[in-house]
Amino acid sequence: MSIENEKDLEGLRKIGKIVAEAREAILKAVRPGITTAELDEIGGSILNKYGAKSAPQVEYNFPGYTCISVNHVVAHGIPDRTVLQEGDYVNVDVSAVLDGYYCDTGASIVVGREAMNTKDDLCRCAEESLYLALEKVKAGGKLNQIGRAVQNEAKKRGFTVIKNLTGHGIGRKLHEEPDHICNYYDKSDTRLLKEGWVLAVETFISTGAEYIDEGSDGWAYITPDKSLVAQYEHTVVVTKDKPIILTAI
């Protein structure tokens, strides 16, 4: 999607605030003893309060309002009776639609405070590399500089990036052009960013694996070696200067 008028921008800002509120409410509720289904209900209640619909449910009939992934499950984890334990790694991914406009956001967290170790470092790297990548989001810039920024930061901090999960265009649908906003530098990608584009930029930073596999339930993506992956994501609008971050609090 490319923003054409003020109505488009306001519609995106509205749904962006809703998914950000849901994301933060779920993250705040993460603690030992809570189930991923209970977390999902928190997110769903916020979407319902504003009349928004879960994008995965609308577009793919996903069995949950949100995707909540635990430990070596990287993405698209189905909320269920899984009870979180101290030290578990959790990713929360919230996408929704309101009045025909979509936004997508995500964040990763470690359960409890005992695990002040590699898991926390991984989450910080995923978040900080996202903001470094967003510094490259400017009209006329090369799209592949987003991936270069993420990959450079991950490598500097001793991590790798997942190469077969990427960011994407968004706006009128959950997934639009430009597709495959990679987390690594692809010199063959000559696409230039255009003013008004709406992008879901998401980092996938790994402790080991560079590629993910499909899980047995037909939804979840997992690492084949049980390494951990942190994801952070914002939906943004490309401008001539700094991007507008629609899903920031």
CATH topology of domain 6-245: Creatine Amidinohydrolase (3.90.230)
180 is in an annotated binding site: no
Question: Nearest-CA neighbor of 86 among 73, 72, 71?
Answer: 71
Q: Tell me: pLDDT of 73 over 80.
A: yes
Check the annotation: does 234 bind a ligand. Answer: no
pLDDT score, position 120: 83
Q: Contact, 175 vs 168, CB < 8 A?
A: yes
The CB-side HSE value for 248 (13 A sphere, CA atoms) comes to: 10
Torsional sign, CA 177, 180, 184, 187 = negative
153, HSE (Cβ side, Cα atoms, 13 Å): 24
pLDDT bucket at 1, cuts 50 / 70 / 90: confident
The secondary element (H helix, E strand) that includes residue 12 is helix 6-29
Any binding-site annotation on 76? yes
Annotated binding residue 168: yes
> For residues 182 and 64, what is the distance between their CA atoms, to the nearest angstrom?
27
pLDDT digits (tens, 9 = 90+) for 91-141: 999 999 999 999 999 999 999 865 555 678 999 999 999 999 999 999 999
The residues near 70 (Cβ < 8 Å, ≥ 6 apart) are: 36, 77, 82, 84, 88, 89, 90, 91
**pLDDT (tens digit, 9 = 90+) per residue, 158-206?**
999 999 999 999 999 999 999 999 999 999 999 999 999 999 999 999 9
Tokens for 62?
């996903």
Per-domain boundaries in the chain: 6-245
Position 223 pLDDT exceeds 70: yes
Measured distance CA(102)–CA(125) in Å, rounded: 26
The pLDDT assigned to 140 comes to: 97
Q: What percent of the chain has pLDDT over 90?
A: 94
